[in-house]
Amino acid sequence: MSKRDPAPLIGITCEAVSKRKDFAHYDLLCDHRYAAAITQAGGHPVLLPIAHDQNQLVRYLEGIDGLVIVGGDDLDPRWYGERPKKRTKIAFPKRSEFEAWLYRAGKKRKLPILGICYGMQLINVLEGGTLLQHIHPNKHKPVVDHEGKKTGYHAVKIQPHTRLGAIIGEGRKIVATQHHQGIRSLAPHFIPSAIASDGMVEAMEHPSKPHIFTVQWHPERQPGSRISRRLFRAFVRACDEYQTQKGR
């Protein structure tokens, strides 16, 4: 019997990009920084092409020890009972359907799942929450550059007594950001684990689902940041534990 490779295999979804609105032809793209972050944290990254064949989907889940749902365009607001607004740029529908299946099936297996930006928004909606289709600055609150147009970064406050706080530390942190949507209503039973100064939820977690990790910011864009390294290492450790349990 061959010795098991100690590094967990972690599936990373891809963005679908097309020059045509009907997506008759499209390219699957993935920012190399997601894979680099997983590798740096001790995991083996593998890209997951969009699939809908049941057997292929099951093989994906059987083969991976963790899942990263990456950033991208906007989830179709009809998923949470709204019509698209002017600034909403809907992601390729088959991509969202693919990731929704992976999330639901993976959650049942207690597969470690990391949702980043759009990935967190998708998880929030799948769990019963809703989104703001566009964040408008509130004159009664601090203006936060969520879209990252000025510097690409803004501050968040990691909440005390949360798993995220235990992983990366509590208090004020500077994170890489690029999102124009955010959480309107948090999914039932989830709690905010990071909040921006305008009150926008920047990370969420479920007290009884430690295998689900979510952040609204882009930790893969801060490879030298201590908080990014700690987050990815914690996620890869969870994937390694899952791999060990799966191998028994």
Residue owning tokens 């365009």: 73
**Considering 117, 179, 202, 205, which one is annotated as catalytic?**
117
Please say if 202 is a catalytic residue: no
**Considering 15, 202, 205, 220, which one is annotated as catalytic?**
220
**Using an 8 Å Cβ cutoff, are 60 and 102 in contact?**
yes
CA 18, 19, 23, 27 torsion-angle sign: negative
d(CA 136, CA 153): 18
Among candidate residues 191, 192, 74, the one with its CA nearest the CA of residue 132: 74
**Using an 8 Å Cβ cutoff, are 37 and 54 in contact?**
no
User: How deeply is 47 buried, as exposed, middle or buried, from its count of CB atoms within 10 A (0-12, 13-18, 19+)?
Assistant: middle
Please say if 220 is a catalytic residue: yes
Please say if 205 is a catalytic residue: no
* Active-site residue set: 117, 218, 220
